Structure 1
Amino acid sequence: MTTLRTRRIATARLTQQITEARDEGEPVVFVHGNVSSSVFWHTTMTALPNRYRPVAVDLRGFGGTDPLPVDATRGVRDYADDLAALLAALGIDRAHLVGWSMGGGVVMQYLRDRPAAVRSLTLVNPVSPYGFGGTHGVDGILNSADGAGSGGGTANPDFVRLLAEGDRGEESPLSPRSVLAAVYGKPPWRPEHEDAYVESMLTTRVGDDHYPGDSTASAAWPGIAPGTRGVLNCLAPTHFRVDDLHLVEPKPPVLWIRGEDDVVVSDTSLFDLAHLGAIGAVPGWDGTPAQPMVAQTRHLLDRYAAAGGTVREVATAGAGHAVHLERPEEFGKALLEVLSA
């Protein structure tokens, strides 16, 4: 059994907490998603063969990493630049990158900015390369110039409140534990280490500089647009757009692995206000189209492949947003194939 250790590393930008298994081998760096931490990678890390050096990082404002504010006007570059500073502090020049959900956006940005430093890229149910919410079409056309329908104002306030209060129960359907059970995986699946994952979620710093971020009013439906601070705003399509990965050189191999029943990152996402409006869950819907998140990612990666890159898509039936936890054997097999490509 591989033993994991956790420590904090002082870097040129901030002090970051990492979990690691060994000091030797090809580096494989795991980047978690929103409202989580490196804890969600522990079981994946322990399954890697000894030839690899797994490292999982807590992003700023999550886990044990310094809670520096997030400048959303830079998209996810605060996170990507933090990651570069961490790898420099660890003496890692090139690494395999694995990003889940929001972490998928972080590693796409890292590849965009530092392609020579990436050995391979694995995207696990990643956020669309055109952000989260507020766009339509496979090429991410804005529904409104101000990004209406995305950003910090789209978070459910009761979930934010219960997260801030440290709620560990499931009396409310919007408690962290209930949300973990309902949308991180496909029900009725419940993770083996559920308590640890709930504690991980509760490390999320809450506020305008963190999760969910600030927001502004909009004249366009649904009446809210992104602000300039915090987590959900750094994923707004007015701030985050990685649509030119096909231009990077060199082009490392890419694995895109996802659960087919994901309701978070989906062409019919239960977190996209436009889709919720279409099904009557948000009042006053004016016909604004839902964001085709999966189709947008496929469009990006098709262009990458057409420009000479190697891309493999693995769609896992019966799995949801946390495919690496729900289907560890299938996920591990696909990951090892891209690591050894």
Structure 2
Amino acid sequence: MTTLRTRRVTTARLTQQITEARAEGEPVVLVHGNVSSSVFWHGTLTALPAPYRPIAVDLRGFGGTDPLPVDATRGLRDYADDLAALLDALGIERAHLVGWSMGGGVVLQYLRDRPAAVRSLTLVNPVSPYGFGGTHGVEGTLNAADGAGSGGGTANPDFVRLLADGDRGTGFPASPRTVLTSCYVKPPFTPAHGDEDAYVEAMLATRVGDDHYPGDSTPSDSWPGMAPGTRGVLNAMAPVHFRVDDLHLVDPKPPVLWIRGEDDIIVSDTSMFDLAHLGAIGAVPGWDGTPAQPMLAQTRHVLDRYAAAGGSVREVAVAGAGHAVHLERPEEFGKALLEVLSA
């Protein structure tokens, strides 16, 4: 049985917590998503065989990494630059990168800024290259110049409150445990009891506030009445701050795997976390006809351009899986991951 080791690594930017399965081998760096931590990669860490060296990192403000504030005006570059500093501290010049959800955006930014340092890129149910919310069309056209409909103000206030309160129960629809079992994965799938508790604890380790999750917001004259601020997690994914649509220009072009659950309700062309889609179905009042963000179509558009420019891209859609395909279908995920690692 593989024994995992968790430790803190001091870098030039901050001290980061990592969990790893072995100290030698070809580095595979696993980057978690929003309101989670490296704990969500424990199964992958134990399953990935030698000669690979899987390393799961906690991003700033999550898990055991220093809770430095997030400058959202840099998009996801705070996280990507932190990752570069970590690899430098570990003496790793090139690595395979695997990013889930928001972590997908982090590794996309890393590829955009440092293509020669990336051996391969795996995107697991990733945020769109045009950010989360506030855009329409495959080219990520802003719905409003200020990014209305995205950013810190779009978070469910009950979820934020329960997260800050450390709620571990199932008494509310927005409790972290309920969000885990109804949104992170597709019901009726449930993690093993011990794993579920560990995932909830990882969610509760998220720092909450304007500098962290969800971030600040500003009023907007455009529906639904709020626009991104300049601080915190959700603003770092707002389309006015994060946009990685020129990947076809990077050189070299490492192979890319895009793997996702077909029944993901978080990252979707009809996302239940996109206020425009919620408005269209009557769940958010005052909807003015703003179209839902086609998140999958946007990702496919960017990756198709990457492939047309000479890159290798493989899309794997896993039927019956939700937002956390690596948890729900670990064997299918592991098989696809090993194929891109050895490409």
Does TM, scored on the shorter chain, surpass 0.5? yes
Amino acid aligned to 1:304: Y
Q: How does 1:98-247 map to 2 (within 5 A)?
A: 98-192=98-192, 193-247=195-249
- How far apart, CA to CA, are the structure 2 residues paired with 1:111 and 1:2? 30
Q: How does 1:326-341 map to 2 (within 5 A)?
A: 326-341=328-343
Per mean C-alpha deviation after superposition, the further-off stretch among 16-25 and 119-128 is 16-25
Q: How does 1:84-99 map to 2 (within 5 A)?
A: 84-99=84-99
Q: Please, which of 315, 318, 323 is the counterpart of residue 317 of structure 2?
A: 315
- How far apart, CA to CA, are the structure 2 residues paired with 1:45 and 1:16? 18
Q: How does 1:245-324 map to 2 (within 5 A)?
A: 245-324=247-326
Amino acid aligned to 2:131: G
- How far apart, CA to CA, are the structure 2 residues paired with 1:51 and 1:218? 52
Please tell me the root mean square deviation across aligned C-alpha atoms, in Å.
0.3
Residue 314 of structure 1 aligns to a residue in which SS?
A: strand
- How far apart, CA to CA, are the structure 2 residues paired with 1:34 and 1:59? 9
Structure 1 vs Structure 2: percent identity of aligned residues? 86
Q: Which residue does 1:25 correspond to in 2?
A: 25
- How far apart, CA to CA, are the structure 1 residues paired with 2:49 and 2:190? 26
Q: Deviations over 1:282-340 (max 9, x none)?
A: 00000000000000000000000000000000000000000000000000000000000
- How far apart, CA to CA, are the structure 1 residues paired with 2:337 and 2:46? 13
- How far apart, CA to CA, are the structure 2 residues paired with 1:136 and 1:43? 36
Q: Deviations over 1:6-41 (max 9, x none)?
A: 000000000000001111110000000000000000
- How far apart, CA to CA, are the structure 2 residues paired with 1:38 and 1:222? 34
Q: Deviations over 1:72-128 (max 9, x none)?
A: 000000000000000000000000000000000000000000000000000000000
Q: Which residue does 1:38 correspond to in 2?
A: 38
Query: Where do 5+ consecutive residues of structure 2 fail to align?
Result: none
Amino acid aligned to 1:298: R
Q: Which residue does 1:2 correspond to in 2?
A: 2
**Shift in Å, 1:191:** 1.0
Q: How many residue pairs were aligned?
A: 341
Amino acid aligned to 2:49: P
Q: Which residue does 1:74 correspond to in 2?
A: 74
Amino acid aligned to 2:180: L
Amino acid aligned to 1:326: E
TM-score of the aligned structures, taking structure 2 as reference length: 0.99
Amino acid aligned to 1:340: S
- How far apart, CA to CA, are the structure 2 residues paired with 1:90 and 1:56? 13
- How far apart, CA to CA, are the structure 1 residues paired with 2:274 and 2:164? 22
- How far apart, CA to CA, are the structure 1 residues paired with 2:163 and 2:86? 28
- How far apart, CA to CA, are the structure 1 residues paired with 2:341 and 2:244? 23
Q: Deviations over 1:236-271 (max 9, x none)?
A: 000000000010000000000000000000000000
**Shift in Å, 1:53:** 0.4
- How far apart, CA to CA, are the structure 1 residues paired with 2:21 and 2:47? 11
- How far apart, CA to CA, are the structure 1 residues paired with 2:191 and 2:228? 33
Residue 308 of structure 1 aligns to a residue in which SS?
A: coil
- How far apart, CA to CA, are the structure 2 residues paired with 1:338 and 1:213? 35
**Shift in Å, 1:45:** 1.0
Residue 148 of structure 1 aligns to a residue in which SS?
A: coil
**Shift in Å, 1:2:** 1.0
Amino acid aligned to 2:296: V
Residue 169 of structure 2 aligns to a residue in which SS?
A: coil
- How far apart, CA to CA, are the structure 2 residues paired with 1:257 and 1:315? 6
Q: Which residue does 1:13 correspond to in 2?
A: 13
Amino acid aligned to 1:190: T
- How far apart, CA to CA, are the structure 2 residues paired with 1:65 and 1:303? 35
Residue 216 of structure 1 aligns to a residue in which SS?
A: strand
Residue 331 of structure 2 aligns to a residue in which SS?
A: helix
